[in-house]
Amino acid sequence: MKVPIRTFRSTLTAIAHIFSHVSHVTAQYEVPEIHLCVFVPVTSGSKKDMELLPLISETWGHENLRRAADAEVFVVSVDPNITNNLPVLVIPNDEEVIYEKLPLRTFIMWSFLGSDHHFKRKCKWYMKADADTYVNLKAVADRLSCFPHWYPQYLA
């Protein structure tokens, strides 16, 4: 799959456009089910990612913490059977790539989420996290509550 190389600015502009569309559609039709959806792209060929997946579901991605924060954690993988503890999102045209090409994979993920009707209605907020990152779901969800989810925003 060949994707043209974009400058950092044009990539951010494209992401902002995707989210403005997602936010507009969400605000226009219905209130999303989940306050915060966190997406964790992993590579099944990465020993590090495979070691970290169980830790995510046992720590910050644990069901009780997700419920308390009104959040959901999705593992993004080309392998639908990569984990039994967290929902797995298989994105069309996604490929496992080397770490240096992770931004391209992330862009494909955001493009899919911006065009998929299910996720447009499912989440107020979208977040990408790396497998080796600890996310305090409650703190992030509380902080995001200060902002209108229907207004186009890109927070980094």
- The tens place of each residue's pLDDT in the chain, 156 residues long, gives 454 544 445 554 555 555 554 444 434 445 668 999 999 999 988 899 999 999 999 999 999 999 999 999 999 999 999 987 899 999 988 888 877 888 888 999 999 988 877 777 788 999 999 999 999 999 999 999 999 888 878 887
Classify 31 as helix, strand or coil: coil
pLDDT at 27: 41
Report the alpha-carbon angle 96-97-98, nearest 5: 135
Tokens of 2: 């060949």
pLDDT value, residue 52:
95
CA 41 to chain centre: 8
Please classify residue 152 by burial: count the beta carbons closer than 10 Å to its beta carbon, then call 0-12 exposed, 13-18 middle and 19+ buried: middle
| pLDDT computed for residue 17 by the predictor | 52
Residues 91 and 99: their CA atoms lie apart, in Å, by: 18
